[in-house]
Structure formats: C-alpha cells, structure tokens
Structure 1
Amino acid sequence: MIEDIPSTDRLNLPLPKIAIIGVGCRLPGDVSSKDDFWNMLVTKRVVTSEIPSDRWDRDEWYSKEPIPGTIQTKHGGFLTNAYDFDNKYFSISQAEANEITPEQRWLCELAVETMEDANIRPEELKGSQTGVFVGSAGLDFGGSQLANTLQMSAHTMTGLEPSIFSNRISYIFDLHGPSITSNTACSASMSSLSMACNAIAVGDCDKAFVAGSNFLPTPGGFVAFSQLRVVSKTGSCKPFDEKADGYARLEGACMLLIKDYEKAVRDNDKIYAAIIGSGTNEDGRTLSITLPSSDAQCALMKWVCEKSNIKADTIDYVEAHGTGTPTGDPIEARSIGNAFGRKVRSPKSKPLPVGTVKGNVGHGEFLSGAIGLLKVSLMLFNRQLVPTAAFEKLNPKIDVDDLGIRVADKNEPLVKLNGKVNTPFRAAVNSFGFGDKFILIVSPSY
C-alpha cells in the first residue's frame, strides 16, 4: 500500500534534458527567419511603428488621457501582409482559407519553416507521435468574426476556434501526438513548452512543435489595455529604463521544435540549446489580481534550481519578462537579484547580466515567452550576449549594485560569472502571465 505524501512535501522530479533542434518566427519589421531575428538583436533594432491605416484610424481612436473607449498610443508591432497565405501548398480551398485566422496561417507556414531549419522533411513525421503545443487565444479575430452572423459558413468555427491552432498542424502533417492550445495570458507559449517537455518526458510524444501567436486586427484590445494603464504612451517598451511607461503590443508568431536531448545527439541533430530545468507557480493573493509578487517570483526561481540540481550561482544570464512597466520591472529585478544575484555569489563575483527582447519587438503577450527563448537559444548557439534595445538610463527604483545585477547593454562574449570555465554557461528565461509564472533554465549543447 502506497502511503500518502504529506501535503507540505514536494516531489523532486527533475526534467529530462530537452534539445531545441529547429526554430522559426514571423515578426514585424520583415523579421521572418532566425537570421533576421539575430540581426535585429545585435543591431538593437526596434521594430514597433505606428498602427497601420489598414487596421483602424489611429487618430480617431487616440486620446492622450485615458477616456473610456479610447487608446493611449498610436504605436505597436504589426506584420505587413498579415493575411497573406499560400493555401494551395496546404491543400486548403480558397473558401476555407478565407475563414482561417491569420494566426493559424502563420503557424502552418512556421511548421514548414521550422522543419526545414531542423533538416526534417514533412513526410518523415507523417504518422509519428509528434506533439503540437500552442499558446494563444485568438480573442480579437474570433470576436469580430462571431459578430458577423450573416457571413458565417461551415468553415467559420474551425477557422477561428483556438483549439484548431494546434489541431490544424497535426491534421495537415498527420501528427499523432498530443495537440493542445492553451491560454495563460502572457506566459501562454511557455506554459505550452512546459506541457510539451512533460509529454516528451512521459513518452506521450517523441518530438513537439511549441509555438505562441498573437494577432491585433481590431482596436478593442488596445482600448482594454489602455484602461489597465499598461500600454506605453510613447509607443515602445523601454525595459529597466527610467523612461519606462508601459509596453507596446506586438503581433506575430514564433515556433520551436524540441526533442529528447540524448536522441537529438544520437541522430546528429543541430542543437541550438538544451532545456535543463523548468517550473511554474502562481502569485496567489496580492494587492490586486494583476500586481506581481517578487517573493513568489523569487521562490519559483529557487525551486527550479533546487529540483533541477542546479546551483543558483551557476546562472550566467537572465532573459527577463521585462515589459517596461514602472511597477513590474523593479519587482522582477528584485526577484532576479535575490534568487541569482549578490546573495548567492561570492563577494568578488561580477554582476549578473539581465536583458529582454521586448525592447526590440514589444510585448507579444501570448507569444512573448517563445520569443524570449528564441533569443536565448540563438545567444547560446552563437556564444554571444546581445544588448537590451531601448535601454539608456537605469530606472532609479532598481538598485543594481545591491542586487548584484546589471542590464546587458552591448554585444559581448558569453562569460562564466563564477570563473568555473569547465561548467557550461547557463541562462534563465522568465515568462509571466497576470498571476502565473514560468521559469526555464537552458544551457548550450556543447
């Protein structure tokens, strides 16, 4: 008879090592490949711009003050030709393609591009236990489509229903592993990654596509986030900067293909990085449902290290959630410093570099975690730290000296902070929703 485990105990089940073997992205500024993405990072390019006229009249909706029904910014990250789709390639009729949300279209195309990047032909995966895990919601497009009842067809629901975001990829390529779309807000793509890693660990699938997507076709979401007071009035994310005033919303998609690390080595796959630990928790009760808890963030970082048998002082970089909000950035900086900074290192240790891709692209909400992981994977693969775009002068509420951290502000080689050159460089990736959090630790393949 199995004895009950006390509720105060936590099972320590470390995650098997998972390899990232393929990547793809579709982002504003014509960033449609890993090479475009890397070039954007090393040049500190910012891809946000004015809201395009083919979406809505930005001047009509704009208000400097937070008047109900208005938007407090004229900027965001928008794809050009967002509706373009080669439906014939996927054997989808024109009638059905017209009803399919652009998010599904981008994800189908990215599945092909990610397989190409991994040197895998689509027919090789046919009938395999390959999973598909997507973080998204499809709120804006779905809401607008459901309002046009007279224009609905037999393809309407499968065109907008979020569950089909993952299911369509499984259907097109005849993949038999788990196929799940999840929504945990801004941590959605990383929550999907967590499910994918666990599915590989227990044998439910041998490979998995992990993706996040976000589409901004209507002004409604901008109005709602303006009322929440998180949208940047100046139109860009300025992470950890004294001028940080909120975030720029971003649309696009990002995808990674993952596989058991030992099998990836056996099969001579190209490996961008290895996932060696992960975990998730929730803030619980704070002053408001959207206010993050530094203590909860710090506790999760420590727990992921503990259960993955990783010493906190071996973390050499943190890709922060870092949305550029005046309240959120100092809270996250404090949790990073307490978990990985001066408190856990020797007095002579160099400060821990912290950065975020949101300075380049804005906040992708449902896809933001996947973009952060893509950035870290390419940094590890290229053995180079990249600067945090839009960062100029430190937010005075962040005491980097006391915390033992610094904002990564230049291109520089990867350096082990503890001086142990025989141990691999390790990076942590933060991804936060309204209350839930996801922490990931990755290392190079070498």
Structure 2
Amino acid sequence: MTREELMKMSKKDLKNRLAELGKKAQALSGQELTDAMDEARNIGEILDEIKTREELMAAAAAAGSNDPEPGKGSEPGEGGEEPKNQVRAKNGKALKDGKAVSYKAKVLVNPRNAMTTERVAMPQHSSTEISPAFNNVSSLIDRVKTVPLPGGESYKRPYVVSYGDGAGSTTENADYNVSEPEFNYAEIVREKITAYAEEPEEMVKLPDADYDSVVEESVTRAIKRYASRQILVGPGGTGKFRGIFFNPSEEKEQVIDPATDITTITAIDDGTLDEIIYSYGGDENVEDIAVLILSKKDLKKFAKLRDKQGRRVYTIVNHGNTGSIDEVPYIINSACEEIGGTKDKYCMAYGPMSNYEVAIFSDIDARKSEHYKFKQGQIAYRADVFMGGNVVAKNGFIRVKNPSA
C-alpha cells in the first residue's frame, strides 16, 4: 500500500496491517520483501506521528485549551479537522506574543534522511585510531646485512679483490707460477643520526586517539628513513655512510669499480632488465640471488611498457615497497634518480643485499621531555643512534647511471 493509502487508515487498522505484514514476512523474498519493509517503515512513521499529535493534544488540554469539538477525530481517516491545525494556530499565537515554542524532531526531519548538525544537535565522537600516511621508509634498511657493535667507533670488513689467475704450464725444475689472491677491506665509520620533534601539551590531552605515541614514533621513523637513503647516497668521508653510489677519490678505496657502471641505458625498453642482469657478476656464471633497487618512477615505466600487440612486456608483482619484475626481486628507494633524467646521476643498483653491511654502534635512544619548554607548554621528543655502512664485496653491485650527454 502507498503512504497516501495508509494515511487514510485509523490507528487500529494500521496496527492490524503491520501485524499482517509480520506474518507474511517469512514467505516473502526479493523485491516483495523490500516493498513490505518499506510499507512497515511507513506505518511506523505514521503511528509515531499519531502519537505525537496525541501528546500535543494532551499538553494543550493541560494548559486549559478547549477540547476538540465533537466529531473532530484525532486520527487520520476519522473525519473532521485534524488537531495539528489547532496546535499550529496556538504556536503561531505564542510566537507573536514572543513566547518559546518547541517541536518534535520527527515532525521536522524524516528519519530516513541523513541528519545534519544544522537540523538536529548531534553528539561528537572521536575515533581511537589515527589514520596513517603513506609509507615513507624504504625496506632497503631491513634487507641489508646488519652487524651489532655497541660502543664501537669503526669497523673493517676484509674482502677478496681477486683469487689470482696465474696458473699455467711449468717446465721441469722451473719455478711455480705465482697466483696469489688479493685482499682489501671496507671501512665503516659511525655516523650520529638524530631526529627531534615537539608537540603542544594540549595534544596529549585530546580524547581517545594516542597522538603522543605517533609523535614519538615519528622521530624513530625519520632516523630509519635517513639511514635507508644513505645506503645508496651516503657521501663517505669522516663520520658518514659510504653508499652504493659513492665513488671514493682514491682507487684503493673503491669497492665498486666505476668502470663497471652501465651508462648506455637512456630509456627503459624490453631489453633493459636483461642488460642489467647479464652485466653483473663474473665471467663464469649468472647471479640468481640479486635484487634490483630503483625508483617508483622507473618501476612505472617497466609496468607501462607494451609490445606491438599491446601486451605487457614485463610481469610485475607489487607488494608495497617490494615486489618482482619477471621474478627478479626489486626494492623501491626514492634516493634513486630516474632513467633519462639528470645526467651523470645513478638510477639503479643490482646485487645481493648481503654485499652491503650496516654496523650499528648503539641502540636507538628515544626520549621524551616535558621540562625543556615547560613555560611554553611544549613536549619535546628526540631520538639518536650511531651507525654506518659500506659495500663489503668487490663490485658487490652493478650500477646504472645516466650518461653524461
């Protein structure tokens, strides 16, 4: 039944109709069940309106107003003038006299519509959770080899430069061919990394959500983000990371020979990945445990590449900061430049993560102070750690570099 048809029924008939719908509900489904629910909802609203009118009539009677004239029913369908017109007349007179008038919320707002604070006063609630931002820390820091050295100042890792290639034929009674392995070492010095933040004391007093812990965690995340970038672009020198892209001025300190850099890639195409994979390692084998480090922009270029039939050239599987390109693992790091971008800048690195070591000379010391800016009502947070890193295998990574021109 439509709402107009229901409005013509008495309260008793409406209740009977509602009971009838309840009995039929078990046998209904689909659109019929939906229609029955809408009709039941309309009946409920009409019954609420009837109850509201009865309450208003009772209030009017208690205030000394005249009773409804005989024959003037209080419910729709019973004939006569509806009492709500009398109530409106009374409210209008009260308003003209400067008196306050109240209305029931259900009369003003359809319960099925969304209520806003402009219509009805709504209580304010706060979630106990704080929505995080996008991840800004590369997982590179979690994949390299770490060496705990609490209290240390520096660390040296020896590595093999070459195994020697002097074996050969020797005549009887002649000297043996000399074939000695060559060694060197990679030095790791400690760098002090710090982060600092402040928050007003009012933030700590905000309800529900733990803003305080987010601020405290952010200084630790900042340290991790910095260290992850330095694994690639650490400038070397006193008290600094020596990154994969770092080239010492002295040849004896060059763990990665700059002559092995790939400088022929000017754009990503269907042969880019093969060029990188088969350029890395020795002459006798192809490495199968290496990882490609690149920027998100270049990963996008791999993903958008299509063949002449419009099919993807590379099969890419994404897992947030990591994933694979044709089953070759990759890690995204924003310190990498873009292929075809700034000249002479490094864009990618390929090699086993164990070929880079991070020495941790102390734990991360995170502290909170409510005294430093007590007068301003500021709470201060700081965190620091001593750590350093370097490539620890000869030509442990092959690097892709934008050409000079």
TM-score tier by shorter-chain length is: under 0.3
Q: Which has the greater radius of gyration?
A: 2
TM-score (norm 1): 0.22
TM-score (norm 2): 0.24
